[in-house]
């Protein structure tokens, strides 16, 4: 496939359950199509360190969306290229990852060095501690301040987190409490409650919880991530903490007009 594709002809490509695809094919695809903006490798499609490193290294200048559904073979050797190369990345989804192979430092670097990142989803976040969450909080504080001061657009900045397997001490930490203070659940829900209750009252009750709620049970991290994608019409108004899963969305920022 990669051999016969016209060079420079693709902007988006999706692999789903392509179990026989070879790493060399993904590498050739990246080499011949460095302009790719969207890469989805889902299901049981194999992804190795060498193929991800080549994809990100060659396509990093234009890549905006990266989704890996079978990341258990990936290590810091390849994931670190995301922070180093992807200056336009807006959404990152990594499922079935191995926390023994991808470190907190590498994931923190993505938060720190990917300025256009809006959404990050991880199915297993057990490696994440205070270093990661402190970086998230600091970034959000700076971005919200810049938006309020008209130094950035409303749609910019880190807006959504979908993290599975978060350690209990992190869920109960001051970092998550501060995130909740800056979430749609804390600031937007009361404003929108009246206008929404006639339209989707039943759906909102079944799909969301208040920040103080902790619902015991498993959550399908991929399902939550897709609900948070830009294409969906569903806009969650409340932070969800279910078991060890954190689903967070940034509060709406109201801009005051400049004084004359």
Q: What is the mean pLDDT of residues 135-142?
A: 98
Give the residue, 29 or 81, on which the prediction is more confident: 81
Mean pLDDT over each residue of the chain, to the nearest integer: 82
DSSP code at position 183: B
> Tens digits of per-residue pLDDT, 226-254?
444 444 434 445 567 888 999 999 998 87
Q: Write the DSSP assignment of 73-92 as a string of letters.
A: T--HHHHHHHHHH-SS--EE
**Is 145's pLDDT higher than 80?**
yes
Q: Report the CATH number at residue 122.
A: 3.80.10.10
**Is 206's pLDDT higher than 70?**
no
Within-domain flag for 124:
yes
Domain span including residue 96: 12-249
Within-domain flag for 144:
yes
**Is 101's pLDDT higher than 50?**
yes
Q: What is the pLDDT of residue 2?
A: 57
**Is 202's pLDDT higher than 50?**
no
DSSP code at position 5: S
Within-domain flag for 97:
yes
Model confidence band, residue 194 (pLDDT cutoffs 50, 70, 90): very low
Least confident of 52-66, 182-196, 211-225, 239-253: 211-225
Q: What is the pLDDT of residue 253?
A: 81
Q: What is the pLDDT of residue 86?
A: 97
Say if CB 62 and CB 37 are below 8 A apart.
yes
Cα 44 to chain centroid distance, Å, stands at: 20
Cα 105 to chain centroid distance, Å, stands at: 17
Within-domain flag for 55:
yes
What SS3 state is found at 239? Answer: coil
Treating both helix axes as pointing N-terminal to C-terminal, what angle do 174-181 and 130-148 enclose, rounded to 10 degrees? 20
Q: What is the pLDDT of residue 260?
A: 46
Find, among 80, 88, 34, 13, the residue nearest to 53 by Cα: 80
Within-domain flag for 158:
yes
**Tokens 């460095």 sit on residue:** 34
CA distance 114 to 135: 12
Within-domain flag for 260:
no
Model confidence band, residue 7 (pLDDT cutoffs 50, 70, 90): low
Number of domains in the chain: 1
């Amino acid at each position: 496939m990669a051999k016969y594709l016209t060079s420079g002809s693709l902007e988006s490509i999706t692999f789903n359950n392509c179990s026989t695809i070879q790493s060399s094919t993904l590498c050739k695809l990246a080499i011949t199509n460095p302009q790719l903006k969207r890469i989805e490798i889902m299901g049981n499609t194999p992804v190795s360190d060498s193929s991800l490193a080549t994809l990100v290294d060659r396509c990093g200048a234009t890549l905006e969306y990266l989704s890996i559904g079978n990341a258990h073979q990936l290590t810091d050797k390849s994931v670190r290229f995301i922070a180093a190369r992807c200056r336009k990345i807006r959404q990152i989804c990594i499922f079935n990852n191995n926390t023994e192979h991808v470190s907190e430092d590498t994931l923190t670097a993505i938060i720190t060095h990917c300025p256009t990142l809006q959404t990050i989803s991880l199915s297993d976040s057990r490696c994440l501690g205070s270093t990661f969450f402190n970086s998230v909080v600091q970034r959000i504080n700076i971005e919200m301040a810049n938006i309020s001061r008209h130094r950035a657009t409303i749609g910019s900045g880190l807006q959504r987190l979908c993290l599975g397997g978060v350690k209990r001490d992190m869920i109960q930490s001051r970092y998550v409490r501060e995130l909740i203070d800056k979430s749609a659940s804390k600031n937007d829900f009361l404003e929108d409650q009246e206008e929404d209750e006639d339209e989707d009252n039943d759906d909102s009750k079944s799909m969301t919880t208040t920040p103080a709620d902790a619902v015991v049970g498993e959550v399908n991290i991929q399902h939550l991530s897709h609900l948070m994608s830009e294409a969906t019409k569903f806009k969650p108004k409340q932070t969800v903490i279910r078991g060890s899963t954190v689903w967070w969305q940034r509060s709406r920022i109201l801009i005051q007009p400049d004084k004359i």
